[in-house]
Structure 1
Amino acid sequence: MGECLNILSVKVILSLRIDYLHYLLECNRLLSLKIIGNDILSNHVLYELGNFSPIDAKAIIQCLIQHTTFNLEPALIDKLVQDLAEELGEVRPIELQVVGAQLQTENITTLAKYEELGNNAKQELVKRYLREVVDDCGTENQPAAELLLYLLTDDKGTRPLKTRAELERDLQVLVSDIATDSNKLDLVLEIFVKSGLVVLLPESPADRYQLVHDYLATFIRQQQEPKLTQVMAELEKEREQVKKLRQLMAELKAERRQRKISEAKLNSFLKRALMGSVAAGLVLAGLAVIAWDSARKAAISEINALTNSSEAFSVSGQYPDALIEALKAGGKLKSIDGKTKDTFTQMRTVTTLQQAVYLQPNEPKENRAIEVNTLKGDSPVNSVAFSRDGQKLASGSADKTIKIWDMTTGKLLNTLTGHNSPINSVAFSSDGQKLASGSADKTIKIWDMTTGKLLNTLTGHSSPINSVAVSSDGQKLASGSADKTIKIWDMTTGKLLKTLTGHSSYVSSVVFNLDGQKLASGSADNTIKIWDITTGKLLNTLAGHSNYVSSVVFSPDSQKLAFGSSDNTIKIWDMTTGKLLKTLNGHSSGVISVVFSPDGQKLASGSADNTIKIWDIATGQVLKTLTGHSNEVKSISFSRGGQKLASGSADNTIKIWDLTTGKFLNTLTGHNSSVNSVAFSPDGQKLASGSADYNIKIWDLTTGKFLNTLTGHNSPVNSVAFSPDGQKLASGSADYNIKIWDLTTGKLLNTLTGHNSPVNSVAFSPDGQKLASGSADKTIKIWDLTTGKLLNTLTGHSSPINSVAFSPDGQKLASGSADKTIKIWDLTTGKLLKTLTGHSSYVSSVVFSPDGQKLASGSADSTIKIWDITTGKLLKTLAGHSSYVSSVVFSPDGQKLASGSSDKTIKIWDITTSKVIKTLTRNSSYITSVVFSPDGQKLASGSSDKTIILWNLDFDDLLRSGCQLLNDYLIKHPVVLADLPTCQTPFRLEQGVNAKNQITDDDMKGLQNEQ
């Protein structure tokens, strides 16, 4: 640096915080700084970078958005600068950065949309920013993340510097389980640092962590302090539940045995009593009631234990165990007489079953792939390969053996021995008659698959063999080695044809293209090289990874090349142009293995994060994340048809996954922006969705396809509602208008104008004759749908109206507003009947119970309140969401309530007990709207991630789906099937099972008699 300072044409700029200026004193001691008078802290070289003036802040915002597609309304810029400068008269750069980024994330471009956030929109945006960073840590890590943020502040509102050891110690004091999980702590800290929320300061003897700005310290303190006690209590409770889970299952088994003994004794006693006198009848009746009640309580206890067990398995990624336990609970619930079922137990069982059937634990955006079988060994599995016909699977292991498995039965066919070091790679010839294996003993062996005999041993490498590949015609073999070379061999004679040199570090992976004329090699030198096999010449070198390349693979048509790296990414290259097409991000640790599906449409990747991800090549999106391995996934392979995937892991197992099953949950995609509102048709056959892309889509729920797109609004659609007869649809928009549509023809029937601000909510009266609309202009308007005329305008709220709802009898209307109140109106007179107060932030959603006796309200204060309509009294407050509640809806039977929130979750509540029955997590962004189908069997949720999700709550359908998903698994595990009576009927066991494996009703009767 001293030499640079002496070059007049070079300017050296150092940017650092004021509390680190003392480090510059080292420069005075170590460097010659004559050019600045040996005084690096002099005023003429030291410049303070302070806050922006409001004028500068406005200019900066305008400059930043000038050449982008993210255009902010001038009125919004003025309001934003005003809010940011309100406290100090200046704008903090960090606050502008956080708020601006969140505006872009949520696509808030107008003043009206900004003001919908409430009275303190700026604070709400900062709150959401922090919530998103915490959410990025994963559901299971959120409590740890919240506590870590709190620990990086102090009661003075400053940001103490803390080492990892200090943070771990502080967490240990609060909740011991978090601190003992080193990986969890490191993951959260890494996400905080990469998000820019926390700064990592390299120091000796230990690095230290610090929040990026004092402003955030005060804000976090205010936000987290009230939650801390609750979070700690919840974490302690969770720890106790996990601790007691095994004990509970053991007690459950003992209880089952004891209950069978008790029931046998009771039956014997009743028989003896019946043979006595008639006078004993009353006693017997009493005993029967006692026995019935005891059996009921025991059954409910068993069901709850099974659902607990299923949820624990889901969290730990142990599938199909989670589904098996959920099916046991479902079968037990089905066997109980209807009168004994309580709402909480029934709904919890249904939602737990729903989770097990549909959801991949901790991966809320993907569909479930089914683990068909697990093949266990005694050492880490380094490589797996399917034979061309998909009938066999070869696995190479660290125990120096290759195992050949029958894919139909899952049985071990043969164990090939001969190598004297771990096997790193295996590959079948195209006809399946030979197998090549590469080993750390520096040799390649060729095996006869019919006899299992060794045909040839190829020697020549001076270091371990990391990868082997056979050309499509079966004539050539390629081997990549730690000696930095690739060798090409004649598969028939075993002769060495060529040695390819050029890599500067070990070769980790080799693969032939389709015609066998080219070879790709990946290396620890961070590059991929493309070779001409005929000439041996290097054709191209592809670079771009920041760490070593672990695996390379050609697409089936050889037009693309994919390679995975220890930098956690996969890159897709165009082989014609040599250009990078896509970089796939998603793994949290190094990618070890990649493979294309046979149709070239998908890519699978195995990682050191213990997961497999299935990617859509066209979009670059993750389709599925497969969890279940307890150690890194070292090798993956598709079956010929692409329906199954095999994975080999350092956990000593090979897992076989069925990729075609499990897609029962319907996700409706098609909108280009946030889905703001969803509504079921009265017959439950259609769904309407209104979006910020200005469009309304009508969906057929039988097929999941959209029937029509209704266009006409020129601003985001905020609310949609079906007429009671299902023939019309009303839509309210930010263009200030309400439109009435004919659903048979898709034509626009009428446009209702009169509001002078965005329309946030529309609702039909129960008789379909009137429509109510709530607007940001602080008014509710009542319209006559026959004439289109305005009947009444209700005024009284002091802030925008966010939600309106008719009572079931059509006599009353409820309105929720940003003024934090709910108002109940008499629709005959237009008079205000009641004002309900109690929320501490704006009311986003209101809904009447089916009987009209209660009203539920959701608010930005993160709570739901239940009110008595007759008295206006608050009955209950439901707390559990960690961010604002955007939508609430009663189930058709009035026993349950669903709520959607900006914390990206939907919660289903038991109205009687006020308990959360289930939390549904699957959307990647905040929930905007939730609605039950008329029969209560489905729940639809709209999200700002542009999707609608249909949640299946049909108990019988879930049981059928669960049994179908486990079909192959149960055939291979008859002992498990014997414990699942609900899956034992021929209807539940899919056709196509080999006759010797088919279980008949007679077999099951015999098995039941044995039991």
Structure 2
Amino acid sequence: MNYRFQNLLGAPYRGGNVVITKNNLLISPVGNRVSITDLVKFQTLTLPVQSSSDICRLAASPDGVFLLIVDGNRRCLLVNLHRQVVLHRISFKNAVKAVAFSPCGSRIAVAAGKLLQIWRAPGFKKEFFPFELIRTFADFDDKVTALKWSPDSKYILAGSKDLTARLFSVNKTGVVKTKPFLFLGHRDTVVGVFLGVDKMTNTVCRAYTVTRDCYMFSWELSGGDGKFDEMGGENSEPDSPGTPEREVETESGNGVSVKNKKRKGLDGNLEENGGKWRLLRKDGFGQAPAKLTACDYHGGLDMLVVGFSNGVFRLYQLPDFICIQVMSISRQKITTALFNEAGNWLTLGCAKLGQLLVWEWRSSTYVFKQQGHFFDANCVAYSADSQFLATGADDNKVKVWTVSSGFCFVTFSEHTNAVTALHFMATNQCLLSASLDGTVRAWDLVRYRNFRTFTSPSSKQFASLAADQSGEVICAGTLDSFEIFVWSMKTGRLLDVLSGHEGPVHGLMFSPTNAILASSSWDRTVRLWDVFEGKGAVETFPHTHDVLTLVYRPDGRQLACSTLDGQIHFWDPIDGLLMYTIEGRRDIASGRLMTDRRSAANSTSGKFFTTLCYSADGSYILAAGNSKFICMYDVADQVLLRRFQVTHNLSLDGVLDILNSKNMTRDGPLDLIDDDNSDTEEGVDKQTRANLGSGLPGSIGNAGRPSIRTKCLRIAPTGRSFTAATTEGVLVYSIDESIIFDPSDLDVEVTPEAVDAALSEDQPNKALILSLRLNEDALIKKCIFAVTPMDIPAVASSIPYKYLQRLIQAFANLLESCPHLEFILRWSQELCKAQGNSIKQNSKKLLPALKSLEQAIVRRHLDLADTCSSNEYKLQYLCSTSATK
């Protein structure tokens, strides 16, 4: 039961901006969650923090400790990245288009609507109101769209949709009260603003403004000392062009009032300290009629990257505006572009395709390239050793992910319609997929190719898939003809067609112990078929409602199926008897949809399970459907053990149980009224987001609010994790290792002191058994390493059977992090020799632990193999050198 959320796969990016910290951590928003990718170790994780809706803005502190998250509901979270916890919260009054930490890390600039606000950055100290508003600039006539701090954190350049950019002073102890510098002449929204620094004097000498109509304006500060006086006027309006000469009172260092003369010309240039901002040049990017959608500037290299709505990005050397590279990553618009701190990597994102990549522009190579499913994942499947996870979706693609790193390493796109079912073969080298295009394909995971395709005599739509234990027979159920097709894996020839169902066959599975095939259909029956011996159904289990799915218990002695009335029926497949039933309508009940005319309690829609999955030992079962909950039931007692809430994202429909009546208008719910006529500047537009939630390409959703649902559940063969294919992506839950005290056989004499006493008396076998009874990881590890290599066989033979599973799991955990590889492998080998009969007799119960050990050994083997292959010639040289000496 001790599962917790671990990672989110299938969607590395869905809109908003991305951030790269100084230690090469790529932080990207995925719905209402945040994904962090280590570009050095090539691992990804998802923060357990959830925002109230889809995240639109991210900002990281210069030291990489704090992360600021702003969502579509204008709610802001300050997160400690190291501890992965929320420190402070605040809500802004207007939609936030840009947010940035100052280079000193003490202040935060927020573009909230037409206002530019400067806040004091909170720290680790507990405060009643940690966010303190320092200044508010209300000079803009439209939304602020871009921000950039000066290196000394005293000035900030901001661009707006009112076709202007302004340079503000943010030092609240300023003495000069003037209006901000105003940059005019733009003909479209200012997308990016940047400040260039003179490397000799380390002062700001240039400014760049990039507009949506594919133009860049270069501004130069000439004739002065490169420093600005303080500029005030929080509520002042900028003068119109042609303002005559005026006098501004300033205060000198000795407190004497002095009058300075300023002149503002027709072009908006403002003289200051003898210097003057002037328009140096105006350059076009030559991508019309495309729009410029993303840009970033690296001050150290003086380089600019720009991305366009047609998927093209360009790299320029400034200030000479020399184009270095022109590349295209897709045909969809680029929604984010970013340099890393060193400037050698470019991060580019395309929200509509869920694509995120890191490009090394000097060598023209990819450092990181990931793309999620365009639509929700329909099905998932674990490999036999739990190292790989396959996903299939309505975008006709099959992706295979490495569970430990969270990366997709291969994508198969030969299907021409939605992928509905997946199955890993026992060897881990073959993956099967069924699709609505009428084919079942076999994929080679060594050579990454489709080596066999199974088809029917006439075009069918396959909705379910199964393979026997030997891998010789492949079966697939159809939606339209209600038949089950049987093929030979070796020859690809159609062997048989099983007829008898009168509805779509949505559930199909072979028994783990024999060659009996079980199928479930909307005709309210579950049928058992003997594929090898005879034709026709061996036995039929009738139900009162449509049967949606079925699953075998790992030992093959129980069969569970869910029906349309919200019940889970458990059958004895050997005797053909109904064992018991679980009523799950109240447990699976979801929130209220925007289009519902009834409350969530009175609604009958969606109160049933569409996917089931047994645990590795068969003691509990997971069930989910068109709901925000995943239910875990105890099979023996038929009781609900726990409910996992998939998401708290209010951008999805069905999350709230009670809708807010103030959002109801005479035309219907306020969220369903689309009165936004402006262009979608970044992220996934409303129509696309609706299609993502509906699961049907081209379908029209309810104003961009997809409904939360879980389409597939799978538990890893190791039993340490399970995966759910949901509207939010592929969620991975794993066993929480932070549990403090969970003894298996506690007694008065079983204490940590007794373990230490046994070790001091040179009784390692007694100490190990006591530590296993206490079930403390630290004590078990201490006792394992206290055994000498010579005593391992004797200690291994003295371990009782009931502690074998815990000891094997301890070896699997040690292999993941312990450097003493040979010692742990020696332990595993001797334990298998000494306890071989016990392991063979109870292989079903020990299977999850054995799978975990196998997974750890294979992973270490692959790591060593890669290391050795990369250093093969160096090892040969060292060996030859030592031999000559």
TM bucket normalised to smaller: 0.3 to 0.5
Report the structure, 1 or 2, having the larger strand content: 2
Superposition TM-score, scaled by structure 2 size? 0.42
Report the structure, 1 or 2, having the larger helix content: 1
Superposition TM-score, scaled by structure 1 size? 0.38
Structure of higher RCO (CA pairs closer than 8 Å, 6+ residues apart): 2
